[in-house]
Amino acid sequence: MQICLILINDPKCVVSKVLKGLIFALQGHQDAFYVADLGDIKQKHWRFMKELPRVKPFYAVKCNSTNEVLQMLATLGTGFDCASMGEIDMVLRMGVPAADIVYANPCKQVSHIKYAAAHGVCKMTFDCEAELFKIAAFHPKAEMILRIATDDRDAWCALSSKYGALVEQCEDLLKTAKNLNIQVIGVSFHTGSGCKNTHSFCKAIEDARKVFEIGKKLGYQMRLLDIGGGFSGNSEFRPTFEEVRHVIRQSLNQYFPNNKEVEIISEPGRYYVESAFTVALNIITKKEVYEKGADGNSRRKFSYILNDGVYGTFLDFYLVKEKQKLKPLLELFPSNLWGPTCTNVDKLVNEFYLPELETGDWVIFPNMGAYSISMSTTFNGFPQPKVYFVLSKGDDKSAPKSGSCKIGLHRYFFLFNCTGLLINALTGVLGQDLKMPHLLSLMSIFEA
């Protein structure tokens, strides 16, 4: 396995130039592929620390568990939100301390609870009595966090229909925990992925304060607040991260005034990786049909079969309530975009107006880092797209003055590995044997 890391100074041009370079260099290899900019993740982390300085991020592993992403975030000093034994094991194997893991699944399999106990993972969530009885039996030293329900009706993915206790149920749950000698250390909530109503955060933080007071009256030392995640990593999404953090900071200052008694954490996933990943798909078949419109005249219509789809990268794209806004610039025709599998469910875009494309053309989808790789399958034998990692240097002036996230770029050369296919392809373009120093000066390949 060769190190394949391209360092480019201007983060604004990284993905487009690398995409062009790869499409040129990999002629004859029309498989779908990702370009992932680890520098974008690094910049997102510094932005998070700047905008929410009181909040420690615990990255949601389920969102994108690519090894390179996890290693980057571990190096930056984030914690990790894990939902299963498999995710906990993945993070522990990277050397992450058990104290930097929150087992944020309110309903856990007994064998997974035993694994967490054996490996010192103590922080975990619950929202019902049944979970407390399991914890008392199999992990009595656990530090439990009570998950409360929120108003997440305006979110893409509403979670409170499945998880979270109502505020009026919390006192009974805390009393049950007390009778079982279970330690409860705080409260968590999640307003849903892609939450559009910032007031949901206000109400959730207010409710968390109420539960804190109930816990204190029962003798608990309530010292942790988990404000969940769901923040978008797409700059075009509204409300923006800045708008959301403004509401969060105001509510935290009102209900949890700045002090050292309460640790505040969050579970961002989509925020970190969404914009870092771009996927390139190849058109493998073009179909042209004529159909009569409402005016009786025939119109041209196209169906394009792509080499990835709903059963691969685009399951989240299919499930969310709002699709990405594509921006065609040429003469437009009604078009359908299909994935490669044999089912009629595998449709990415229906009746969308696109310029006329040809078999062999590439269709680029940005903002594909969240719930794409982690949810993809190999149904019908179609492989998952390869990932080519690049690292944009960005503006290091935005880095915090202190903290574990301040790291040197040279460390990445020892952390991130991926397939040698790119090196082999670029060797053919340059006509020379590529070694590591050459990877630092590949801009000429990616010039338009």
Which of the residues are catalytic?
342
**What is the enclosing helix (H) or strand (E) of 226?**
strand 224-226
**Under 8 Å between Cβ of 370 and 233:** yes
Q: Give residues with Cβ within 8 angstroms of 102, minimum separation 6.
A: 58, 79, 80, 81, 82, 123, 124, 125, 145, 226, 265, 267
Residue 44 to residues 232, 241, 247, 268, 403, Cα–Cα distance (Å): 11, 11, 19, 11, 15
With b for 16 or more beta-carbon neighbours within 10 A and e for fewer, the 223-242 pattern comes to ebbbbbbbbbbbeebebebe
CA–CA distance from 144 to each of 139, 177, 225 (Å)?
Answer: 10, 9, 11
Instruction: State the amino acid at position 290 in one-letter form.
Output: Y
The residues pairing with 145 across neighbouring beta strands, listed in sequence order, are: 125, 186
Left, alpha or beta for 244 (phi > 0: left; psi -120 to 50: alpha)? alpha
Q: Distance of alpha carbon 363 from its chain centroid, rounded?
A: 22
Q: Which of 100, 108, 59 is nearest to 83 (CA)?
A: 108
What CA–CA distance (Å, rounded) separates 421 from 175?
Answer: 59
Residues forming beta bridges with residue 8, ordered by sequence position = 392
The structure tokens listed for 54 are 């009181």
217 class by beta-carbon count within 10 Å (0-12 exposed, 13-18 middle, 19+ buried): exposed
Count the neighbouring beta carbons within 10 Å of the beta carbon of residue 199.
Answer: 13
Expressed in angstroms, the distance from the first to the final Cα of the chain is 30
Residue 66 CB coordination number (10 Å): 20
Give CA separation, 247 vs 110, 203, 394, in Å.
Answer: 38, 11, 28
Q: At what angle do helices 38-51 and 241-255 cross, to 10 degrees?
A: 30
- Round to whole Å and give the CA distance between 151 and 311: 31
Cis geometry, peptide bond prior to residue 239 (ω within 30 degrees of 0)? yes
Query: Considering only CA atoms, which of 19, 27, 6 is closest in space to residue 429?
Result: 27
State both tokens at 301.
Answer: 């219509």
